[in-house]
Amino acid sequence: MDLPTIWFCVIAAFWLGYLFLEGFDFGVGMLMPVLGRDNTERRVMINTIGPVWDGNEVWLIVAAGATFAAFPAWYASLFSAAYLPLLLVLLALIGRGVAFEYRGKVDTDHWRRTWDVVIVLGSWIPPLGVGLLLATTVLGLPLDVDGNRVGSAFEAFRWDTLLGAAAVVGFSLVHGATFLALKTSGDLRARARTLALRLLPFALLPLFAFVALVQWRHGSLWTAGLVAVAMLAGPVAWLRLRADRDGQAFAALGVVIAAAAVVLFGALYPNVLPSTLDAANSLTVANASSSPYTLTVMTWVAAFGAPAVLIYQGWTYWVFRKRISTQHIPKVHVPR
Amino acid sequence: MEVLELARWQFGITTVYHFLMVPLTIGLSILVAGMQTAWVRTGNERYLKMTKFWGKLLLVNFAMGVVTGIVQEFQFGMNWSAYSRFVGDVFGAPLAMEGLVAFFVESTFLGLWIFGWDRLPKRVHLACAWAFSLATVASAYFILAANSWMQHPVGVEFVDGRPTMNSIWAVLTNNTALAAIPHTIAGTFSVAAAFLVGIAGWRLARRRGEDEHREVWRSSLRLGAWVGVVAFAGLVISGDAQGKLMFEQQPMKMAAAEALCHTEQPASFSVLAVGDVADAQCEDVKTFTVPALLSFLAHNDFTTEVKGIEDLVGEYQAAYGTNYPDDPALGELAGQPIDYVPNLPVTYWGFRIMIGFGALSAGIGVLALWLTRRGRIPGSKWFPRMVLGGIATPFIANSAGWIFTEMGRQPFVVVPNPTGVDGVWMFTAQAVSRVSAGEVWTSLIALTTIYAALGVVEVFLLRKYVRGGIEGVMPPKKPQGDDDADQGSGDDALAFAY
């Protein structure tokens, strides 16, 4: 494999890591008003992701940084052409990150309710926007010969990209509910599990529809196999959840998103950002990549850096592996 | 060219705002790690209280630093796509390294530190504090290497109309970066130092003698004051080194810092000016000067010639043209004359505000050390006002310094390196994205509004925790200090939960 292709795979892997790890973060936040019946339950939910959400979010930052380093033209065209969806994601992530940290710093209901709204909005908007961005990457934008967008600021909002947005939202919901079933105990766990069982058959449909659409438009034989894997892993997740095996269900959902991500990027290759105006304007792995020297340097950095990240992030999950429930939540302790 | 103006304002606002949180995070996280080390080594409860109190303020600030930083990672592509395409081959590498090497460590180990008080062995927990605080320094290093490349591009050749990296080593050891890093890190310590002195000094003075945690505040104040004084020495030395590099690499910025119209030999250093420094008739501006000092600052020699703006404009026009290219991408600026002179009032006063407020901050530190010598607690009502006001001074100096650095390189976004490769430079006007003004207006207004609102919340929370003192950050039942993790029945409440 040549270096640009390797880096295409690395960036796909960062996106996959992001979708998998922040998928349940978003799901937890999205479900907070549904599953959290009182403040303590909502605190249990937030604390299932408390120590890890920040590290999970860095996967998005590094996906963007790696794109800048390895495919500057892709980075420049996608983020300037899909300006508004990206802006929405950024605004939501700003609010959400602050909300986690600030919510418990003042002991009044009004204060908590305000930040809960921010957490819920900050958990619904980013999967929508990220889904839109990824769908746009795979399905293309009206780009001129210089890689600039032709047309209005709303070119990224189409029915097929909105389907991609719904796909990420639906997956995040199911993934979050399953994660809560896996990480909590007691009453909350029972309700999270029931909800996951009810949601799963419907919430994964947009993802399957979107993957099928991408397969139909740009797919090849090997991606078809992965479409099948994604669609089979969904029912497996449901069955394992029903059999009370939360961990296996969670892993099966991991297979769903991994297979789906590989289909998306597999169908995209060798493009990195197709132009819907003229195929000659499309950005490809070959014409959008950095120089061989830069890619070599980055390959060395990633070869040492990425495994280290996996090791210490894995260790974090191990340290905080215990289920938590309402009796683990300490009393609120704030000044006065 | 409305998009250009808007994009410049947006980048300026978001970056200056981000850099209010960043220096406090970097400086304070290292000091907190130091406090925790002192606690682990001595077992003295005072250091635990310091760790908890300053650690809590650190976290309130950290959250804002993180979320304002996210925007920066994407803003290059959103608003400056032509720039990103041009420099991505070299500029993207330090950014990606920052993410892979620093951001991951920072975010992961901060989570472990916040939630790990009763889950991790004491020493492992301490190691987490050092991991995230040193990662903040690492991320500063990478992003400063990227920024320094824009000021002084090295390690590249010019291939097919773009700079192409040929030495990552040259980029990461750019002399501009090696001077900028100590200067910036010293600046972060001066922010954290003033923060400690201001808050601890205020608490000491407010409840003289009756506060059972008096020793905590005294130790914090003395620590902060010493750090501030040492940091200022670091700022002076590294700032001098930067000035000498600037004289060679960015003579226009040097001239603009002094609003030096005509070449002088020897050149005098202007202390303050009366009148409009941007006036074309330099003779009308009265400035108070120190003879030959600028020559010394530029080249360690009292007789060096320092070039003035007028001569430099001629040199730039000869090298890079008198007019912008007739390119439709430049909009209204296409074919217009290029203004090679930075905004003189901003550069001239930015430079002086940076130096003045930096020195003021150090002066307050020295005064605080003197007033609290040998166990004294000053009774003057001016003392708490002085130290609280002192918190603002290094923030002002940092912002002024960065505004000077960045606005001093205009009209270039990538400044030509006098000893570098031909072609590796770019005008800011050529760098901006082809997006609509409406999009940039939307993001400018949205980001500014959210930042302003969150800034108010952060200050409110910091005030609340400062007033709450030690009792506000230590739950009544202290966590076990055992070396073993994970003991207990499993039904114990967590030591910390959001």
B207-243 tens-digit pLDDT: 766 778 888 999 999 999 999 999 999 999 999 999 8
Residues of chain B positioned with their CB less than 8 A from the CB of A70: 92, 96
Number of domains in chain B: 1
- Residue B483 is predicted with a pLDDT of 43
**Residues of chain B predicted below pLDDT 70:** 1, 208-209, 279-284, 286, 477-491
Residue among A18, A181, A42 at smallest CA distance from A120: A42
Q: Closest to A87 (Cβ–Cβ): which among B62, B120, B443?
A: B443
Q: Do B497 and A43 touch (CB under 8 A)?
A: yes
Cα–Cα distance measured from residue A185 to residue A162, given in angstroms and rounded to the nearest whole number: 35
Is A333 contained in some domain? Answer: no
Of A60-69, A162-171, A276-285, the poorest mean pLDDT is in: A276-285
> How many Å lie between the alpha carbon of A301 and the closest alpha carbon of chain B?
7
Is A1 contained in some domain? Answer: no
Domain range for B270: 3-497
**For residues A195-215, b (16+ Cβ closer than 10 Å) or e, as one string?**
bbbebbeebbebbbebbbbbb
> How many Å lie between the alpha carbon of B344 and the closest alpha carbon of chain A?
32
| Amino acid identity at B305 | E
Q: Closest to A103 (Cβ–Cβ): which among B67, B166, B498?
A: B498
Please name the residue that has the structure tokens 């983020």.
A79
Any A CB within 8 A of B67 CB: yes
Cα–Cα distance measured from residue B29 to residue B50, given in angstroms and rounded to the nearest whole number: 12
Residue among B463, B428, B433 at smallest CA distance from B77: B433
Residue B218: phi and psi, rounded to 5, are -60, -45
Cα–Cα distance measured from residue B151 to residue B16, given in angstroms and rounded to the nearest whole number: 18
Is A8 contained in some domain? Answer: no
Q: Closest to B115 (Cβ–Cβ): which among A50, A297, A298?
A: A50
- Residue B263 is predicted with a pLDDT of 83
Chains A and B form CB pairs within 8 A to the count of 270
Q: Do A69 and B88 touch (CB under 8 A)?
A: yes
Q: Which helix (H) or strand (E) holds A242?
A: helix A221-242
| pLDDT of A47 higher than 50 | yes
Angle at alpha carbon of residue B184, lines to B180 and B187, rounded to 5°: 145
Three-class SS state of B348? helix
Q: Closest to A65 (Cβ–Cβ): which among B96, B476, B492?
A: B96
Concatenated DSSP letters for B265-315?
SSPPEEEEEES-TT-S-GGG-EEEEETTHHHHHHHS-TT--B--HHHHHHH
Cα–Cα distance measured from residue B273 to residue B94, given in angstroms and rounded to the nearest whole number: 40
Number of domains in chain A: 1
Is A18 contained in some domain? Answer: no
- Residue B484 is predicted with a pLDDT of 45
Cα–Cα distance measured from residue B266 to residue B246, given in angstroms and rounded to the nearest whole number: 17
| Amino acid identity at B230 | V
| B110 to chain A: closest CA residue | A51
Cα–Cα distance measured from residue B258 to residue B446, given in angstroms and rounded to the nearest whole number: 36
Domain range for A298: 27-328
Q: What is the ipTM of this complex?
A: 0.94
Any B CB within 8 A of A121 CB: no
Of A35-39, A189-193, A289-293, B207-211, the poorest mean pLDDT is in: B207-211
Mutate to test the interface with A, among B6, B58, B59, B67 (most CBs of A within 10 A): B67
| Amino acid identity at B328 | P
The CA distances from residue B105 to A53, A62, B112, B196, B497, in Å, are 13, 12, 10, 26, 21
| B376 contact partners, CB below 8 Å, separation of at least 6 | none
> How many Å lie between the alpha carbon of A98 and the closest alpha carbon of chain B?
6
Cβ within 8 Å of A, B 113-172: 114-116, 119-120, 159, 164-166, 168
Kindly report the number of other CB atoms within 10 A of residue B91's CB atom: 26
Residue among A158, A162, A163, A234 at smallest CA distance from A199: A234
Residues of chain B positioned with their CB less than 8 A from the CB of A92: none
- Residue B487 is predicted with a pLDDT of 45
Q: Do A51 and B491 touch (CB under 8 A)?
A: no
Structure tokens at B276: 């409009």
Angle at alpha carbon of residue B222, lines to B218 and B225, rounded to 5°: 140
Angle at alpha carbon of residue B167, lines to B163 and B170, rounded to 5°: 100
Q: Do A91 and B447 touch (CB under 8 A)?
A: yes
Nearest-10 Cα torsion for A173, A178, A180, A182? -160
Residues of chain A positioned with their CB less than 8 A from the CB of B443: 83, 87
- Residue B423 is predicted with a pLDDT of 87
Is A181 contained in some domain? Answer: yes
Q: Do B74 and A90 touch (CB under 8 A)?
A: yes
Any A CB within 8 A of B65 CB: no
> How many Å lie between the alpha carbon of B376 and the closest alpha carbon of chain A?
28
| B431 contact partners, CB below 8 Å, separation of at least 6 | B80, B82, B83, B86, B413
| pLDDT of A209 higher than 80 | yes
Kindly report the number of other CB atoms within 10 A of residue B363's CB atom: 16
Cβ within 8 Å of A, B 466-485: 467-469, 471-473, 475-476
Is A16 contained in some domain? Answer: no
Mean pLDDT of all residues in chain A? Answer: 94
What's the farthest any 2 CA atoms get from each other in chain B? 81
Cβ within 8 Å of B, A 123-162: 146-149, 152-153
**For residues B367-393, b (16+ Cβ closer than 10 Å) or e, as one string?**
bbbebbeeeebbeeeebbebbbebbeb
Q: What is the pTM of this model?
A: 0.93
pLDDT tens per residue, range A230-264? 999 999 999 999 999 999 999 999 999 999 999 99
Kindly report the number of other CB atoms within 10 A of residue B437's CB atom: 15
Residues of chain A positioned with their CB less than 8 A from the CB of B59: 101
